[in-house]
Chain A
Amino acid sequence: MRASVNRPPTPDVGDTQEKQPTLEEIINIKFIESGEKERLMELLRERLIECGWKDEMKALCRAFVKKKGRNNVTVDDLVHLITPKGRASIPDSIKAELLQRIRTFLVSAAL
């Protein structure tokens, strides 16, 4: 027995290779290999710019940096600040469009 009671098992190379990849991981890899992920990311970037979402986030960050002073802000602070607002303000139509694209891809990949 390698794993003791009070110590979590240390994953080693052999372990991870034997482990069956989950469905989510398989899908992720399929998306990357086909280049679809890159295309989706590009589409998303474009849509977020077009609808003004990026400008909004930029403005939020600018206001925050202004308030705190430019030397007292880290990227993590900014990410922490805009993540909830950013997630909430993505237009539904963009989410729908991406979901549609993902569905279409999965159907075509399964065939």
Chain B
Amino acid sequence: MSSRIDHHHLPINGQILPQPCSHLVDFRSRNGANPFRALQDCLRVKPPGGHASIRREPNEVPRCGMCGESGGLTRLYACVACAAVHCHAPPGTSHAAVHGESMSPGHEIAVDVDRAELFCCACRDQVYDRDFDAAVVLAQTAASTLHAPSSIVRSPHPENLRKRRRVDYRPWTPDPRERVLMGSCSSPLNATVLDSCSRDFPAGLRGLNNLGNTCFMNSVLQALLHTPPLRNYFLSDRHNRYYCQKKSTVVNNGSKSNAGNPTDSRICLACDMDAMFSAVFSGDRTPYSPAKFLYSWWQHAANLASYEQQDAHEFFISMLDGIHEKVEKDRRKTQSQGNGDCCVAHRVFSGILRSDVMCMACGFTSTTYDPCVDISLDLEPNQGGSAKMVSTKSNHSCNGEADHMNLSQNCGTSTLMGCLDRFTRPERLGSEQKFFCQQCQVRQESLKQMSIRKLPLVSCFHIKRFEHSSIRKMSRKVDRYLQFPFSLDMAPYLSSSILRSRFGNRYFPFDGDEPDASNKLSSEFELFAVVTHTGKLDAGHYVTYLRLSNQWYKCDDAWVTEVNESIVRAAQGYMMFYVQKVLYYKASEKRVVP
């Protein structure tokens, strides 16, 4: 990079900046290297990570120097040359423009005091300057990192903090320095093993031995081993088990005083995951025994440590917890789980649910946000006859998502979308669970509605197939068939859509309207793993179906076989794993060697 660049003609992110107006060019040439120096001290970022504004004093109330207007209905601009503040109310008066004309030349450029954006009073339009924008972004990031602890009080909304920029996928090739590093620090994979096995199966497909009723663990591990963001994390050495163990022994030696349980601090499920990823992607296809992992997990979840059958979903939650806890312990920081930036488990799986409870008497709504690592869904109650269900099964196997609406309504087939509709529909809280309304100051009947505030990278849906009846004092398993699509659009279940439909906006189909591209993309999901359960409540078997390069594989403990997708569609899903479509690289997973 050259040290000094021409500011206005360089493309940024593929966009060419518009030509600056003559007044801005004039202003820059008159004021030397840093024309906005004086403004930098006036930049205020109110809620950390929030919007930038311009104030000389933190609590200043800016007013128009001519009419005293304090910016209720108009915009206020501060002249960058003399700091005089004036109003600008487009079709009507513009004291800012008057100021620019009367003091001409040199007073045309002004800054919006509430938005910290540049404006040319002569052209009557927004102008853009890289140096100025850089200063604003710097102030914003400084504020958000400085006051990070205090921001926990506010409701989390990570999607607002930074704008997403899309980057094209480029395959990585090592540069000479990296090549040397790789040669000296690693051992090549056994080429003959790799060759003999890679012909039929994609990388990483390896059976897991049953270590005594551990199919609940194997089934979930198979799904996790092929969760794209997790796989990328571990295979790119982001959690190195050798380094992690070395680090934790140093910590232990340093603080011998609290070495009450020396083994406890050394358990690291992420290290065991790392070891498992290495083993599974080594090219060796003989079934692998995750014994070390099982042992570590037993130590983490002592109440589940036995050779009995366990619930796969319980295991999933417990092991994500284990990975999360270890990171917390290492950092010794109380970071809220909600922001999802704490550990790899939460970075991949955590989303935020929004729950609105509306008082039916006065309409007061209280909103809460809860982090979640999966979504547990109730099966829809059986509506139609089972004979109908069988007859429709064959014709929707071609396309599950297009006709889900009428299917779920017309016949008895439950669909995942139907479950999600139920999950997000307004639910009347009964008279026995009245909610205390802050406005009425009494308990009132209320309406509760769930929606998804932030989608995780990987959505795990857990179907509640175990039904507990308090009357009969017994539990049973619900064996009903649930249809699930291979591609799922989560947009209808997002808070924005749910609220939009509740508020009933007056108009929206504009001509030439294109939906926001980034939102659209991240709400589309692809199915990549299904954990199925066969058998009864207390005894049964878990099997996982994996989708790699658009081919389905059945992972039944040590046995991995190729299967037809119709078998997957007919299976009784217990947990479904969907990954954001942008992360599901179909092309890159294809075999390069013919």
Chain B contact residue count (CB 8 A cutoff): 41
Q: Do residues A28 and B503 form an inter-chain contact, with CB atoms below 8 A? A: no
Contact with A along B491-513 (1 / 0, CB 8 A): 00001110110011111101111
Specify which chain B residues have a CB less than 8 angstroms from the CB of A79 in the assembled complex. 90
Check: A109 CB closer than 8 A to any chain B CB.
Answer: no
Check: B32 CB closer than 8 A to any chain A CB.
Answer: no
Check: B430 CB closer than 8 A to any chain A CB.
Answer: no
Specify which chain B residues have a CB less than 8 angstroms from the CB of A51 in the assembled complex. 496, 499-500, 503, 505
Check: B72 CB closer than 8 A to any chain A CB.
Answer: yes
- B86-134, CB < 8 A from A: 90-91, 119, 123-126
Q: Kindly identify which residue among A11, A62, A100 contacts B439, using a CB–CB cutoff of 8 Å.
A: A100
Q: Kindly identify which residue among B119, B505, B515 contacts A91, using a CB–CB cutoff of 8 Å.
A: B505
Q: Kindly identify which residue among A16, A89, A91 contacts B68, using a CB–CB cutoff of 8 Å.
A: A16
Specify which chain B residues have a CB less than 8 angstroms from the CB of A89 in the assembled complex. 505-507
- B57-76, CB < 8 A from A: 59, 61, 68, 70, 72
Check: A108 CB closer than 8 A to any chain B CB.
Answer: no
Q: Do residues B124 and A74 form an inter-chain contact, with CB atoms below 8 A? A: yes
Check: B365 CB closer than 8 A to any chain A CB.
Answer: yes
Q: Do residues A50 and B496 form an inter-chain contact, with CB atoms below 8 A? A: yes
Complex: chain A residue closest to B511, CB-CB: A63
Q: Do residues A52 and B508 form an inter-chain contact, with CB atoms below 8 A? A: yes
Complex: chain A residue closest to B451, CB-CB: A50
- B335-379, CB < 8 A from A: 363-365
Inter-chain contact total with CB atoms closer than 8 Å: 86
Specify which chain A residues have a CB less than 8 angstroms from the CB of B70 in the assembled complex. 25, 28
Q: Do residues B18 and A71 form an inter-chain contact, with CB atoms below 8 A? A: yes
Complex: chain A residue closest to B68, CB-CB: A16
Q: Do residues A52 and B59 form an inter-chain contact, with CB atoms below 8 A? A: no
Q: Do residues A76 and B508 form an inter-chain contact, with CB atoms below 8 A? A: no
Q: Do residues A74 and B514 form an inter-chain contact, with CB atoms below 8 A? A: no
Check: A106 CB closer than 8 A to any chain B CB.
Answer: no
Check: A66 CB closer than 8 A to any chain B CB.
Answer: yes
CB proximity of A72 to chain B, nearest CB, Å: 11
Complex: chain B residue closest to A50, CB-CB: B499
CA separation between A62 and B90, bound complex, in Å?
20
CA separation between A32 and B57, bound complex, in Å?
12
Q: Do residues A52 and B505 form an inter-chain contact, with CB atoms below 8 A? A: yes
Q: How large is the interface on A (under 10, 10 to 19, 20 to 34, 35 or more residues)?
A: 35 or more
Q: Do residues B125 and A76 form an inter-chain contact, with CB atoms below 8 A? A: yes
Q: Do residues A63 and B496 form an inter-chain contact, with CB atoms below 8 A? A: no
CB proximity of B360 to chain A, nearest CB, Å: 14
Complex: chain B residue closest to A16, CB-CB: B68
Check: A107 CB closer than 8 A to any chain B CB.
Answer: no
Complex: chain A residue closest to B125, CB-CB: A74
Q: Do residues B500 and A52 form an inter-chain contact, with CB atoms below 8 A? A: yes
Check: B47 CB closer than 8 A to any chain A CB.
Answer: yes
Q: Do residues A75 and B507 form an inter-chain contact, with CB atoms below 8 A? A: no
Q: Do residues B365 and A97 form an inter-chain contact, with CB atoms below 8 A? A: yes
With known contacts A63-B510, A80-B91, A58–B47 Cβ distance under 8 A = no
Specify which chain A residues have a CB less than 8 angstroms from the CB of B508 in the assembled complex. 52, 56, 59
CA separation between A85 and B499, bound complex, in Å?
19
Specify which chain B residues have a CB less than 8 angstroms from the CB of A67 in the assembled complex. 512
Q: Do residues A52 and B512 form an inter-chain contact, with CB atoms below 8 A? A: no
Complex: chain B residue closest to A38, CB-CB: B46
With known contacts A38-B46, A100-B439, A32–B496 Cβ distance under 8 A = no
Q: Top 5 A-B pairs ranked by shortest CB distance?
A: A91-B503, A74-B125, A52-B500, A76-B90, A59-B513
Residues in B lying within 8 Å of A, measured CB to CB: 18, 46-47, 50-51, 59, 61, 68, 70, 72, 90-91, 119, 123-126, 157, 160, 363-365, 439, 495-497, 499-500, 503-508, 510-516
With A46-B157, A66-B512, A76-B125 known, 10 other A-B pairs at CB within 8 A are A42-B46, A42-B47, A51-B505, A55-B496, A59-B510, A62-B513, A63-B510, A63-B513, A79-B90, A91-B503
Residues in A lying within 8 Å of B, measured CB to CB: 11, 16, 25, 28-29, 32-33, 38, 42, 45-46, 49-53, 55-56, 58-60, 62-63, 66-67, 70-71, 74-76, 79-80, 88-89, 91, 93-94, 96-97, 100
